[in-house]
Amino acid sequence: MLISIIIPTYNVAPYVEECLDSIAVQTYQGAVECIIVDDCSTDNTRKAVEKWLEDYKGSVEFRAIWLKKNGRQGNARNVGTRYAKGEYVIFVDSDDVISNDCLEVMVKALHDYPFSDYVIGNMEDINGGPAYLSPNTPQYSNDRKWIMRQSLFDGGIIAPGMVNKLMRRDLLIKYGISFPVDVIFEDVQFSFLLGVHSKAVTFLPQKVTYFYRTNRNGSTITSISKDTDYAFTSRLTIVGNLIDKISEEYRSIQAKALICRYILYMRITDVQTINRHLKQMREIEDKLLSVQRRGVRFISSIYFLFPITLRRNILITKLFTNIIRF
């Protein structure tokens, strides 16, 4: 079975070789391709990658794509997915590493649970710290509503990050699951749609397969998310996109999840930023109300009448979120 690994790169010269090394030593005996998509790096990332590929003599098929226009990480991942040929795909960030048996244990899990749409391994900070999945996480679930609640709502055990998930490529193609471009937090949209359309998921809580770096200087989230306007409008754009993509099956859960996410965004954004984007907010709120059932629509409309300062109150947001989501 061919596995496609997709690695977007941007200004990661100090880290990318370590990432590629971890791909090269995989114990999985099947076919592996690794697609590196560079998003117009301005440092020595391209030279580092080209030198590494020149020296590599192993069995993994590496390909590098050098984009001519910067489109951010979501676009780079979309490009990699379009070029992928594998039955399953997995995203790896270029400043992270995977365990040498990452693919082997994930593929074994697929053999044990062949109806899984994706496998998610455990992960932890490369510098140490608690693992991401609790030991009590179930090994397998084919409960659609449970999967959606764990994927779509904030605080679920399936976080929106897209790395470390070995996913069926035909599922992504069938439902047009891709990343939005020209925004940050693009993982939220992808993982939301993946949660909506996945019928079964396998978890590996006992096995750490991925090691990530946090708060790296120069990373996209560290640098761009400091622009509060860009961060807020990105979040609003993603909510709007997802409203348009609500499927009829389990429509109520999706609509509730989006309004809860919108309430969360109100709480974590400062008043000044919110006030600069009231028009876009009103448009999103009208769309959110239009897809809700009567009871949730009524409760949400009350929340929307509150002044911004009250909308950001942690007790109020928790109260409304708890009422809406159940």
For residues 154 and 236, state if they share a domain: no
Q: Residues with Cβ < 8 Å from 176, sequence gap 6 or more?
A: none
Least reliable range by pLDDT among 75-84, 122-131, 237-246:
122-131
Q: Is residue 255 predicted with pLDDT exceeding 80?
A: yes
DSSP string, 35-56: EEEE---SSSHHHHHHHHHHH-
Alpha carbon of residue 270 to chain centroid: 24
Q: Is residue 215 predicted with pLDDT exceeding 90?
A: no
Q: Of 66, 67, 7, 65, nearest to 32 (Cα)?
A: 7
CB 215 within 8 A of CB 222: yes
For residues 92 and 46, state if they share a domain: yes
Q: Is residue 220 predicted with pLDDT exceeding 70?
A: no
Write out pLDDT tens, residues 197-214. Answer: 999 999 999 999 999 998
Q: What range does the domain containing 268 cover?
A: 227-325
Q: Is residue 170 part of a domain?
A: yes
User: Token pair of 295, please?
Assistant: 């009871």
- Site of tokens 């709120």: 285
233/317 Cα distance (integer angstroms):
20
Q: Is residue 216 predicted with pLDDT exceeding 70?
A: no
For the question of whether the overall pTM of this predicted structure is more than 0.85, the answer is: yes
For residues 198 and 232, state if they share a domain: no
Q: Is residue 262 part of a domain?
A: yes
**CATH code of the domain covering residue 202:** 3.90.550.10
Of 160, 188, 212, which one is at a domain's C-terminal end?
A: 212
Q: Of 305, 287, 288, 307, nearest to 296 (Cα)?
A: 288
For residues 240 and 195, state if they share a domain: no
Q: Is residue 218 part of a domain?
A: no
Q: How confident is the model at residue 56 (pLDDT cuts 50, 70, 90)?
A: very high
Q: Is residue 247 predicted with pLDDT exceeding 80?
A: yes
Mean pLDDT across the stretch 244-255?
A: 95
For residues 241 and 315, state if they share a domain: yes
Distances (CA, A) of 277 to 231, 262, 284: 12, 14, 11
- For the chain, the average pLDDT equals 94
Q: What is the pLDDT of residue 326?
A: 82
Write out pLDDT tens, residues 13-54. Answer: 999 999 999 999 999 999 999 999 999 999 999 999 999 999
Q: How confident is the model at residue 221 (pLDDT cuts 50, 70, 90)?
A: low
